[in-house]
């Protein structure tokens, strides 16, 4: 069994070993991922791939708490991060109240908050109150409606500098690690060399301190669309459809259950 990561071991990993983060939404899959991943993220992406909503904005705190409890149950020795959903961290007071709920109702080790400079006072308030915070800058899915789409950051000088400043502000506010999503690789590299906390990339190139992927994407289960940055490590959708089709066929033709599946 692998040793549980801590804030200290994760911070110490910077420059020493690449960090592996994977999303997880339930106990069953978390128990399958725990051996290989350093951190499990209960991402609000579950609202899309699990609930079938078109974006993450309608995810609720109760929903995140429910799934985080499941992940903690399935992988008790994993470092688990709970994503704070849209609208639950608008003010320092609201953010602390909701983060405390997450810590009291689950065994999550940390929360994740999307946002940069505009969130730094709020992140500081949380870290001052014993809440471990992972930041998230660059492309922020919770801003999809206000931004008018999912926009890769860092292609122009203004967004390059803004995202870099966001990353620095989040570190200064006390975050222990940072997700950088949907940015050009040069920007991710610049952030990684500038901040002293581990930078976990998604759609951010190769020069970060670690990577995160959404589990249903990397297992080839989510068929609606495949972002450029996703590598499918298996064709899960095909494998599952084939297995279910075989089960259906065997029920219909009487091949299942066989003798070996019947009680004596
Ligand atoms: O919600 C999520 O799964 C995330 C990852 C994409 C980083 O925030």
Summarize pLDDT for 244-263 with one digit per residue, the tens: 999 999 999 999 999 999 99
Distance (Å, whole) CA 206 – CA 113 = 23
- For residue 49, what pLDDT is reported? 87
Long-range contacts of 193-201 (CB under 8 A, 24+ apart): 194/164, 194/167, 194/168, 195/167, 195/168, 195/171, 196/14, 196/171, 197/11, 197/14, 197/171, 198/10, 198/11, 198/13, 198/14, 198/19, 199/167, 200/19, 200/21, 200/39, 200/134
Whether 77 is catalytic: no
In short, whether 142's Cβ falls inside 6 Å of ligand 1 is: no
- 214 contact partners, CB below 8 Å, separation of at least 6: 23, 43, 45, 49, 222, 230
* Topology of the domain comprising 7-233: TIM Barrel (3.20.20)
Contact 44, 71 (CB under 8 A): no
56 CA distance to ligand 1 middle (Å)? 10
- The token duo for 39 is 């951190």
Q: Which atom of ligand 1 is nearest to the CA of 23?
A: 3
Distance (Å, whole) CA 23 – CA 214 = 5
The mean pLDDT of the chain is 97
**Nearest CA among 9, 20, 14 for reference residue 201:** 20
State which residues of the chain have pLDDT below 50. none
Alpha-carbon distance values, 82 to 63, 93, 227 (Å):
11, 18, 23
- For residue 72, what pLDDT is reported? 98
DSSP lists the bridge partners of residue 179 as 136, 200
Ligand 1 mutation target, pool 25, 26, 45, 221, most atoms within 8 A of CB: 45
Query: CATH 3.20.20.60 occupies which residues in the chain?
Result: 7-233
- 119 contact partners, CB below 8 Å, separation of at least 6: 89, 113, 135, 169, 170, 173
Ligand 1 mutation target, pool 44, 50, 59, most atoms within 8 A of CB: 44
Match 């078109």 to its residue by tokens. Answer: 54
- For residue 228, what pLDDT is reported? 93
- For residue 91, what pLDDT is reported? 97
- For residue 207, what pLDDT is reported? 98
In short, whether 21's Cβ falls inside 6 Å of ligand 1 is: no
- For residue 192, what pLDDT is reported? 98
5, 124, 171, 181: the catalytic one is: 181
In short, whether 214's Cβ falls inside 6 Å of ligand 1 is: yes
- For residue 223, what pLDDT is reported? 84
- Overall pTM > 0.85: yes
């Amino acid at each position: 069994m692998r040793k549980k990561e801590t804030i200290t071991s994760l911070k110490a990993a910077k420059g020493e070993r690449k960090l592996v983060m994977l999303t997880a939404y339930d106990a069953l899959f978390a128990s399958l991922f725990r051996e290989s991943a350093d951190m499990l993220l209960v991402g609000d992406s579950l609202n899309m791939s699990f609930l079938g909503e078109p974006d993450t904005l309608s995810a609720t705190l109760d929903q995140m708490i429910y799934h985080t409890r499941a992940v903690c149950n399935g992988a008790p020795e994993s470092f688990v991060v709970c994503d704070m959903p849209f609208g639950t961290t608008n003010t320092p007071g609201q953010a602390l109240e909701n983060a405390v709920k997450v810590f009291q109702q689950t065994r999550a080790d940390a929360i994740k908050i999307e946002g940069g400079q505009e969130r730094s006072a709020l992140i500081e308030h949380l870290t001052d109150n014993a809440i471990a915070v992972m930041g998230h800058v660059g492309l922020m899915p919770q801003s999809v409606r206000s931004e008018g789409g999912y926009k890769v950051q860092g292609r122009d000088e203004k967004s390059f500098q803004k995202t870099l400043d966001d990353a620095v502000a989040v570190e200064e506010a006390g975050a222990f690690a940072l997700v950088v999503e949907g940015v050009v690789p040069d920007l991710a590299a610049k952030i990684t060399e500038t901040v002293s906390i581990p930078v976990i990339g998604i759609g951010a190139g190769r020069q970060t301190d670690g990577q995160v992927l959404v589990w249903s994407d990397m297992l080839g289960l989510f068929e609606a669309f495949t972002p450029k940055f996703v590598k499918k490590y298996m064709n899960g959708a095909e494998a599952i459809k084939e297995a279910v089709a075989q089960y259906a066929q065997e029920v219909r033709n009487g091949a299942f259950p066989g003798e070996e599946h019947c009680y004596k």
